[in-house]
Amino acid sequence: MNTLIAASVLSADFSRLADEINRLKSADIIHLDLMDGHFVPNLSFGYPLVSCIRGLTDQPLDAHLMVTNPQNYIDGLSRLGVSWFSFHQETVYHSHRLIQQIKDHGMKAGIALNPATPVNTLDSILEDLDYVLAMSVNPGYSAQSFIPSAIAKIKELDRIRKSRNMDFLIEVDGGVNAQTSPALREAKADILVSASYIFGSKDYDKSITTLKGQ
């Protein structure tokens, strides 16, 4: 499978949002970082902006919930046309129930792992997941430095999915750029999320092509 690129709008210039989204034509997915100032020490945006972005593009929307109550947003985000929904393993007691609810709403279901959360916390739920989101920075901000231990985590996830014959996708998020992406593709990450590298460049399409390794 070709590597998919999810452009995170966290680093976009919101005063020119239509133009920014328009320049992401080669991105496979638009990544939406939703933060509550509680699970992470930052606020980002909510339904009004998601709705606005939905009106600007037909590209699939991938919501990354960095909030302590992700269950409260399943219905609202599915109504807004979000098709990928991930929540953090560290935030919920009943991840199995949540995964079923996300799927019942017609969305792909994923679980995100902080850099310090081991893969084995997902052992009993992996076969129910459409994707795993491995964080390669501590969540909350764009433009942080890549944490190299993410590479071993991606390799471990790939090894498990092969040995257990599973088909969940592996998404990696944080510090993805021209320097870090080759090792991530080699480790078999399927989806690379990027904010500051894409939006900090002159030619977004060219940066996306670089991340894909083309």
List the x/- string, 171-190, binding to Zn ion by CB under 5 A: --x-----------------
The nearest distance, CB 158 to Zn ion, in angstroms, is 20
Residues 6+ apart with CB under 8 A from 38: 67, 68
SS3 170: strand
* Max Cα-Cα span within the chain: 47
Q: Which of 209, 213, 145 is nearest to 182 (CA)?
A: 213
Is residue 88 a contact point for Zn ion (CB under 5 A)? Answer: no
Stretch that binds ligand DX5, among 18-26, 74-82, 90-98, 190-198 (CB under 6 A): 190-198
156: left (phi > 0), else alpha (psi -120 to 50), else beta? alpha
Q: Which stretch binds ligand DX5 (CB under 6 A): 19-27, 117-125, 140-148, 162-170?
A: 140-148
Q: Note whether 137 binds ligand DX5 by CB under 6 A.
A: yes
Q: Which of 28, 33, 36, 190 is catalytic?
A: 33
Binding range to ligand DX5, per CB under 6 A, among 17-25, 49-57, 99-107, 187-195 = 187-195
CA 139 and chain centroid, separation: 11
Q: 29 vs 151, which CB is nearer to Zn ion?
A: 29
Contact 56, 39 (CB under 8 A): no
